[in-house]
Structures are given as structure tokens and as C-alpha cells.
Amino acid sequence: MAVSAADVKALRDKTGAGMMDCKKALESSDGDMEKAITFLREKGIMSATKKSSREAKEGIIHTYVHPGSRIATMVEINCETDFVARNESFQTLARDIAMQVAATKPLAVERADVPQEAAEKEMDIFRNQALNEGKPAQIVERIVQGRLEKFYQENCLLEQPFIRDTDKTVKDLITDAVATLGENIVVRRFIRYELGSE
């Protein structure tokens, strides 16, 4: 069954689950919202969002050096307990996110971390592009907002498609890990080094 984007958004707003999880839940329940919520609860995905308010002070700093030693990343990922920090699934998640940073060069973990002046600079560029393309003045701002949305999806780590499964975002990957491990998980920060670049 085809599921509308509006239904996916409505389910996401109700449950806080990832977009792909919401789509899957609606498809498996023939678009029935209540059945989709039950589906998410049974999979443990809904409970993951409730854990997001809990403090995450433990965790690890994971480093990844790309073959050839020209790119290296360091990622701090936090959880609630040292026990989970030592768990193999958590370590794998940290490695996957460090590899994601190496491959995709994100600017920030999430939208709130993108400096306001950087966002405004991009908006000016998008505005000038739209005007240079001859777009009508009344729709330029809509075009700018659409392109800014795409900019965030490409440059904010949590919104990027996961390199090993592009049907999921990095945020979906973390949500799955929270459901599995039973603790809040937060990507605190990252740094990426590339030989010869500043």
C-alpha cells in the first residue's frame, strides 16, 4: 500500500520515531494509524524517543582512520551507563558514525549546531541562484527554503542518509540502537581531518 508523506509525518509527530520506521509501520498496517503505533511499540522504537530526555554522560570517543591514512575522524558518542559503552553494538554504532563522518564531511551534528551566519550565507546564494535562473520573485523564498532544507539534510550528520543503508538516516540508526540497547544515545561532537586541508 502507498503511504502518503502527510501520514508519515503525522505518525512521526505522534511517536517521535524515525521517518523510515513510520513509513514501514504504516505500510505494514495498511495505513491504520493506531495499528502503526502498536507496530512501533512492539518493535521498541517508540520507547527509544522517550529515552531521549535522559542524561547521557558515559560513552566513548571512537577514532577511525581511512585506509591510506589521508582521512581520520574522532567522534564522541554518549550513553547512560559504562556497561552499554562497552557493548559491542554500541562500539559498532560508534565506528559506523565515525566512518560516516569520514565519507560525507558533515558540517554539524544537527541543525541547531549550524552557525546562523553559515545558514544565512547559503540562503543568500540560493536566493541569487533562483533569481539568476529567472524564477518569479513570489516563489523565490519557497525555493530558498527548499534548497536550505536540502542543505541541512546533506550537511547535518543526523539527517544524512546512512552510507551503508541509504533508506535510513543516521538519526534512524541511532534510534534503532536506543531501542536495542535501552538507553539514550547522543552524538556529542566530531572532528574530521583530511591530509593537506585545513
CATH number of the domain encompassing residue 141: 1.10.286.20
59 plus 80 within the same structural domain: yes
Nearest to 104 by CA among 183, 51, 170: 170
pTM over 0.85: no
Q: Tens-of-pLDDT digits for all 198 residues of the chain?
A: 678 888 888 877 776 677 777 888 888 888 888 888 777 776 666 555 555 556 777 899 999 999 999 999 999 999 988 898 999 999 999 999 999 999 999 999 998 998 888 888 988 888 888 888 888 878 888 888 888 899 999 999 999 999 999 999 999 999 889 888 888 899 999 999 998 876
Query: Cell 530558498, residue?
Result: 144
Query: Cell 572532528, residue?
Result: 191
Q: Tell me which H or E stretch contains 144.
A: helix 137-155
Write out pLDDT tens, residues 137-184: 788 888 888 888 999 999 999 999 999 999 999 999 998 898 888 888
Which string of b and e fits 119-135 if b means at least 16 CB within 10 Å? eeebbeebbeebeeeee
106 plus 125 within the same structural domain: no
Query: Cell 549550524, residue?
Result: 114
Task: Supply the range of the domain harboring residue 160.
Answer: 52-110+156-194
186 plus 162 within the same structural domain: yes
Nearest to 109 by CA among 58, 67, 75, 146: 75
87 plus 12 within the same structural domain: no
